[in-house]
C-alpha cells in the first residue's frame, strides 16, 4: 500500500472544489440514493464532507470513504441542481481514482477494465462462447419484456431479469464499415458502445437502418474499445486511458463529420471525459480528443437537429409511449427534446409525459453490479411512474437505462415494453 501522506496530498488537490459546497443540503431533494436510504453519507453533501475529512486526516479510514463513494449512481442530479455550482461529478470520479490508487483496485475490476474492455477481441470471444450456452443457463420469465433470469447464476447476477443474449454481436453481423460519402452527403462514425454491440444488437441495427435511410455514410470498427466510463466510475483512470488510446488510434485515421452513439453515457464520456483523460497520454491525443468531442452527438440529437427529423400527428389508434430521460443525456448534455421529437415522428405512437421523467432509473452502470438491491429499490420508483403514465411502451436513449427498465418492469409483471427512440423511429422506415 502506498503511504497515507501521498493519498492525503492528492486529495488536497480537490479541496478548492470541495470547499465550494456551502452544505445547504439541496442535493437531498434530487439524489436517487438519498431518496432510497435517507442517509446523509449517501448524498453529495455527505460524500464531499467525507472526502474533505479524509484529505484533512480527520478520518483515517480510506476504505470506509471508498465504500461511501461507491454508493453513488454518478447520475449528476446533484450537480445539475447545485446552487454553488460544485463540480461534484469531477470530484467524485477523481476521488474514487485517488482512493483506489491507494487501496488498490480489486483483481476482478482490474481484469474487467484493463483486460476485457480494453481488448475487444477478448471480450468478443467470451461473448461468442457464452451466448450459445445461454439457453442452458437462463429461464424465460414469460413477461412483456421477453426477459430471462438465471437461478444457476444467481450468485453472480442476482435475481436479474435480462433480455437474453443475442446470438451474434453487431460487429459480427455487419462487419467493419467504411462507406463512401454519397456526394455532398454526411459521414458519421457510429460508436455502438459495448451494450449496443453485444446486447441490444437490434437497437444498434435500427440505428444503422436509419442512417442508411437518410443516406448517411457510416464508419464502424469491430475494434472499438469501451468508451471508458465503467473504468472511470470504478476509480480506474488507467483503464480509461488504455481504452481511450485504442479508440483514438482508430478514430484519428478516419474522415467524418460526426461521431454518433445510441448511448447517453458513451456520448457524454466521449464529449466530456475523453479530452480530460487524453491529457494523460500526450498533447497530440488531447488535441484529437478535443476535436472529436466537438463532433460527438447523441444519435437522437443528430437525427433531429442535423437531419431534421420531426414529429407528426399521431394516428387515431396510436399506442401510448412515454420517455425516460437518461441522466448523462439530460443532466449531462442537455439533450431532452430531441428523443421526444423522435418518438413523435412515428404516428403509431402517442407521446405521454411521465412524472419525474428525469429522475435516475437506478442503474448507474457498474453501480448495479455492486448494489443490486439499492438499484432495484430506486428503479421501483421509476417503474411506478412509468406505470402511472399508462403508457404501453417506455423509451430510453441509453442501453443501461433500457436494461434497468426491463428488469424492474419484468419483476413487476407489467405489460410495458422498452424501446430505444431510434427503434421507434426506425419502425416507420
Partner 1 sequence: MANSALIKEFEEMLGKENVFSSEADRRTYAYDAAVLNPVVPAFVIRPTTTEQLGKCVVKLYNEGIPMTVRGAGTNLSGGTIPDTSDTVVILTCALNRILEINTNDLYAVVEPGVVTADLAAAVAAKGLFYPPDPGSMSVSSIGGNIAENAGGLRGLKYGVTKDYVMGVEFFDSTGGWVRSGSRTVKCVTGYNLAGMLIQSEGTLGVISQAVMKLVPPPSASRACLAEFDDMQKAAEAVAGIIAEHILPCTLEFLDNNTIVKVDDFTHIGLPRNAAAILLIEVDGHPAQVADDAAAVERVLKACGATAVHVAKDAAEKTQLWEARRQALPVLARVKPTTVLEDATVPRSQIPAMMQAITDISKKYRVDVGTFGHAGDGNLHPTFLCDKRDKEEYARVEAAIDEMFDVAIKLHGTLSGEHGIGTAKAKWMEKETSRGTILFSRRLRKALDPKGLLNPTKLVGILGGE
Instruction: Using CB under 8 A, list all residues that contact partner 1.
Output: 16, 19-20, 22-26, 28-29, 38-41, 45-46, 49-50, 53, 58-59, 61, 64-65, 67-68, 83-85
Minimal distance, residue 12 CB to partner 1, in Å: 12
Q: Are 134 and 146 in contact (CB under 8 A)?
A: no
Minimal distance, residue 118 CB to partner 1, in Å: 32
Residues 49 and 55: their CA atoms lie apart, in Å, by 10
Compute CA 163 distance to the chain's CA centroid, rounded to the nearest angstrom.
Answer: 17
Q: Which is nearer to partner 1, 18 or 363 (CB)?
A: 18
The two beta strands, 217-220 and 296-298, are unpaired
Helix-then-strand count for the chain, H and E: 26, 12
Q: Which is nearer to partner 1, 16 or 316 (CB)?
A: 16
Q: Give the relative orientation of helices 62-70 and 88-103 as an angle to the nearest 10 degrees.
A: 140
Q: Which is nearer to partner 1, 41 or 117 (CB)?
A: 41
Residues 214 and 426: their CA atoms lie apart, in Å, by 11
Q: Which is nearer to partner 1, 81 or 314 (CB)?
A: 81
Could you give the residue ranges of the DSSP H alpha helices within 192-282?
A: 193-198, 201-213, 229-233, 237-251, 264-268, 274-278
List, in order, residues 6 or more apart from 102 with CB less than 8 Å away: 1, 2, 4, 6, 7, 62
Q: Which is nearer to partner 1, 39 or 254 (CB)?
A: 39
List, in order, residues 6 or more apart from 308 with CB less than 8 Å away: none
Q: Which is nearer to partner 1, 78 or 321 (CB)?
A: 78
Q: Which is nearer to partner 1, 315 or 355 (CB)?
A: 355
Minimal distance, residue 5 CB to partner 1, in Å: 20
Q: Which is nearer to partner 1, 3 or 16 (CB)?
A: 16
Minimal distance, residue 90 CB to partner 1, in Å: 15
Walk across the sheet containing 162-163 and list its strands: 139-140, 147-149, 162-163
Minimal distance, residue 140 CB to partner 1, in Å: 35
Q: Can you read off the three cell numbers belonging to residue 169?
A: 454481436
Minimal distance, residue 310 CB to partner 1, in Å: 23
Minimal distance, residue 306 CB to partner 1, in Å: 27
Minimal distance, residue 68 CB to partner 1, in Å: 6
Residues 52 and 19: their CA atoms lie apart, in Å, by 8
Walk across the sheet containing 177-178 and list its strands: 177-178, 217-220, 187-190, 258-261, 296-298
Q: Can you read off the three cell numbers belonging to residue 378?
A: 430506486
Compute CA 240 distance to the chain's CA centroid, rounded to the nearest angstrom.
Answer: 15
DSSP summary character for residue 225 = P
Minimal distance, residue 30 CB to partner 1, in Å: 8
Q: Are 103 and 62 in contact (CB under 8 A)?
A: yes
**End-to-end Cα separation, the chain, in angstroms:** 58
The two beta strands, 162-163 and 147-149, are antiparallel
Minimal distance, residue 36 CB to partner 1, in Å: 12
Q: Which is nearer to partner 1, 29 or 429 (CB)?
A: 29
Q: Which is nearer to partner 1, 59 or 281 (CB)?
A: 59
Amino acid at each position: 500500500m502506498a503511504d497515507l501522506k501521498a493519498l492525503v496530498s492528492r486529495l488536497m488537490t480537490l479541496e478548492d472544489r470541495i470547499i465550494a459546497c456551502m452544505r445547504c443540503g439541496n442535493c437531498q431533494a434530487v439524489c436517487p440514493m438519498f431518496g432510497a436510504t435517507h442517509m446523509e453519507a449517501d448524498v453529495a453533501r455527505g460524500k464531499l464532507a467525507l472526502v474533505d475529512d479524509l484529505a484533512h486526516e480527520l478520518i483515517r479510514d480510506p476504505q470506509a470513504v471508498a465504500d461511501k463513494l461507491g454508493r453513488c449512481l454518478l447520475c449528476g442530479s446533484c450537480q445539475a441542481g447545485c446552487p454553488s455550482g460544485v463540480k461534484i461529478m469531477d470530484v467524485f470520479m477523481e476521488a474514487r481514482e485517488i482512493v483506489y490508487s491507494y487501496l488498490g483496485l480489486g483483481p476482478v475490476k482490474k481484469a474487467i477494465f484493463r483486460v476485457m474492455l480494453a481488448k475487444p477481441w477478448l471480450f468478443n470471444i467470451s461473448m461468442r462462447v457464452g451466448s450459445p450456452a445461454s439457453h442452458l443457463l437462463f429461464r424465460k420469465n414469460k413477461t412483456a419484456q421477453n426477459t430471462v433470469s438465471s437461478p444457476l447464476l444467481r450468485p453472480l447476477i442476482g435475481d436479474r431479469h435480462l433480455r437474453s443474449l443475442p446470438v451474434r454481436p453487431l460487429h459480427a453481423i455487419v462487419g467493419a464499415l467504411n462507406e463512401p460519402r454519397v456526394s455532398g452527403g454526411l459521414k458519421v462514425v457510429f460508436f455502438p458502445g459495448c451494450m449496443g454491440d453485444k446486447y441490444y444488437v437490434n437497437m444498434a441495427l435500427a440505428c444503422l437502418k436509419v442512417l442508411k435511410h437518410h443516406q448517411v455514410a457510416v464508419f464502424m470498427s469491430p475494434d472499438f474499445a469501451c468508451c471508458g466510463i465503467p473504468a472511470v466510475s470504478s476509480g480506474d483512470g488507467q483503464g480509461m486511458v488504455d481504452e481511450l488510446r485504442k479508440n483514438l488510434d482508430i478514430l484519428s485515421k478516419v474522415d467524418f463529420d460526426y461521431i454518433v452513439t445510441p448511448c447517453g453515457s458513451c456520448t457524454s464520456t466521449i464529449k466530456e471525459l475523453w479530452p480530460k483523460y487524453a491529457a494523460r497520454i500526450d498533447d497530440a491525443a488531447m488535441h484529437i480528443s478535443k476535436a472529436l468531442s466537438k463532433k460527438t452527438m447523441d444519435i437522437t440529437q443528430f437525427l433531429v437537429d442535423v437531419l431534421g427529423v420531426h414529429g407528426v400527428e399521431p394516428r387515431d389508434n396510436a399506442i401510448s409511449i412515454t420517455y425516460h430521460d437518461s441522466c448523462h443525456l439530460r443532466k449531462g448534455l442537455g439533450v431532452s427534446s430531441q428523443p421526444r421529437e423522435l418518438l413523435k415522428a412515428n404516428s403509431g405512437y402517442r407521446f405521454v409525459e411521465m412524472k419525474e421523467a428525469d429522475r435516475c432509473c437506478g442503474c448507474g452502470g457498474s453501480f448495479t453490479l455492486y448494489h443490486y438491491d439499492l438499484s432495484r429499490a430506486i428503479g421501483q420508483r421509476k417503474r411506478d411512474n412509468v406505470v402511472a403514465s399508462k403508457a404501453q411502451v417506455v423509451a430510453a436513449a441509453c442501453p443501461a437505462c433500457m436494461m434497468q427498465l426491463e428488469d424492474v418492469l419484468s419483476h413487476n409483471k407489467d405489460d410495458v415494453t422498452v424501446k430505444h427512440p431510434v427503434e421507434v423511429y426506425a419502425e416507420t422506415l
